[in-house]
């Protein structure tokens, strides 16, 4: 019965001996390997097991790892700076403690550096950007003399301390208190949504030879920044960037490119909803352009929702022209019908 049985023979699993990194170890004979570790498809020893399972193992791909290192020489100057910056943390801690314990009488003025500007206020030394006055909540940093740590590293510690305060926002912000010159007329005025005769003036120039990219200042309105998400809603005569794709087309069509007047900050701006369909009425070619409502889209017709078409007195109005044309056609048909009726009655 065992001889005539057609079921495949059960092959006892033989584990593969672990290979060790030993030059004296001998290679395992191929006959002692399991068929799963045999990668030769023509091997007669393991061919029967492969045919029964239908799987022919393949040798794993050999990956090569190449380790590379780049040697970069650091100049002696930077090595000294690194040692100076990170060399003695205990010394830096002692200097900071000393600065905190200094009395007001020991505080002196320090040599001015290009990063900061120092100013003496009531016997103490405060650093300020652009000689600005201290504000509430701002911290000051003072220096003392007769320090036992009088060296170059003393300045490095204090300089890093002040730079940290600046980056964390403890320094007062720049505040330009200079008053603006009074202009002939206010730049920003309230727009009457029903007035068709009102005009506004914007400053600018003709088509420039060189494309200008004016950056907004801190006091400018946020919509003047081309990176603002609502910049596209700005009225095109307010956009100061000649490269702005949102407002480039009307600038080219009108040959007018807005500019800032006397480097003054622009705090108030107009948006498209305030000046719907406004157009360039007159430009003197120098620095001032006059804008007004487009006659084809009167302000009163756009904003007066209760106005009927027969109340419109603007011949160029594109808002009510369909109703006017329809009424005119109906009136003409009525006149023609009356004429035909009159002719028939006259014949009779």
Q: Give CA torsion, residues 153, 159, 160, 163, to 10 deg.
A: -170
- Check: pTM over 0.85? Answer yes or no: no
Which pLDDT belongs to residue 116? 41
What per-residue confidence (pLDDT) applies to 134?
A: 44
Average pLDDT of the chain, as a whole number:
70
End-to-end CA distance of the chain: 130
Give the range among 19-28, 255-264, 315-324, 335-344 with minimum mean pLDDT. 19-28
Looking at residue 171, its pLDDT comes to: 43
Residue 107 pLDDT level (bands cut at 50, 70, 90): very low
Confidence of residue 89 (pLDDT cuts 50, 70, 90): low
Structure tokens at 78: 């930077």
Nearest-CA neighbor of 128 among 184, 69, 188, 170? Answer: 170
Tokens in use for 158?
């204090």
- The residue that leads in pLDDT, 271 or 175, is 271
Tokens 């009225």 found at? 235
pLDDT of 192 reads 86
Q: Is the predicted pLDDT of residue 71 greater than 50, yes or no? A: yes
The string of pLDDT tens digits covering residues 120-155 is 444 444 444 444 444 444 444 444 444 444 444 444
- Is the confidence at residue 323, as pLDDT, over 80? yes
pLDDT tens-place string over residues 1-23: 666 766 666 666 666 665 555 55
pLDDT tens-digit map of 33-43: 888 888 888 88
Measured CA to CA, the distance from residue 25 to residue 19 in angstroms comes to 8
Contact status, residue 179 vs residue 219, Cβ threshold 8 Å? no
Q: Is the pLDDT of residue 322 over 80?
A: yes
pLDDT of residue 19: 57
CA distances from 190 to 36, 195, 202 (A): 87, 11, 15
Three-state DSSP string of 261-275:
CCCCCCCCCCECCCC
Any alpha helices (H) in the chain, and if so which ranges?
A: 47-53, 76-86, 89-101, 152-167, 248-254, 299-303, 321-347
b/e per residue 91-111 (b: at least 16 CB within 10 A)? ebeebeeebeeeeeeebeebe
pLDDT value at position 174? 40
Angstrom distances, CA of residue 50 to CA of 29, 44, 53, 61, 156:
19, 10, 5, 21, 75
Averaged pLDDT, 237-262: 88
Q: How many whole angstroms separate alpha carbon 275 and alpha carbon 338?
A: 46
């Amino acid at each position: 019965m065992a001889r005539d049985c057609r079921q495949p023979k059960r092959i006892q699993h033989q584990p593969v001996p672990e290979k060790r990194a030993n030059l004296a170890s001998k290679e395992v004979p191929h006959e002692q390997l399991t068929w799963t570790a045999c990668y030769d498809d023509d091997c007669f020893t393991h061919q029967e097991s492969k045919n029964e399972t239908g799987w022919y193992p393949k040798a794993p791909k050999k990956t090569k790892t190449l380790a590379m290192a780049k040697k970069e020489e650091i100049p002696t100057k930077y090595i000294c700076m690194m040692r100076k910056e990170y060399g003695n943390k205990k010394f830096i801690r002692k200097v900071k403690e000393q600065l905190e314990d200094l009395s007001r009488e020991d505080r002196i003025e320090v040599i001015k550096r290009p990063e900061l500007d120092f100013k003496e206020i009531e016997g103490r030394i405060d650093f300020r950007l652009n000689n600005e006055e201290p504000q509430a909540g701002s911290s000051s940093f003072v220096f003392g003399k007769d320090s036992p740590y009088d060296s170059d590293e003393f300045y490095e510690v204090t300089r890093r301390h002040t730079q940290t305060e600046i980056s964390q926002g403890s320094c007062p912000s720049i505040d330009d208190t200079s008053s603006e010159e009074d202009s002939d007329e206010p730049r920003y005025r309230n727009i009457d949504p029903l007035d068709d005769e009102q005009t506004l003036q914007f400053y600018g120039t003709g088509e420039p030879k060189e494309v200008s990219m004016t950056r907004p200042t801190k006091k400018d309105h946020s919509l003047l920044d081309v990176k603002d998400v609502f910049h596209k809603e700005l009225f095109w005569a307010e956009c100061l960037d000649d490269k702005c794709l949102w407002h480039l087309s009307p600038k080219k069509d009108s040959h007018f490119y807005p500019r800032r007047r006397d480097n003054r900050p622009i705090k108030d701006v107009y948006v498209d909803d305030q000046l719907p369909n406004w157009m360039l009425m007159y430009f003197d070619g120098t620095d001032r352009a006059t804008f007004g409502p487009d006659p084809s889209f009167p302000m009163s017709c756009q904003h007066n929702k209760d106005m009927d078409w027969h109340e419109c007195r603007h011949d160029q109005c594109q808002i009510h022209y369909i109703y006017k044309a329809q009424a005119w056609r109906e009136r003409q048909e009525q006149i023609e019908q009356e004429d035909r009726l009159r002719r028939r009655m006259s014949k009779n």
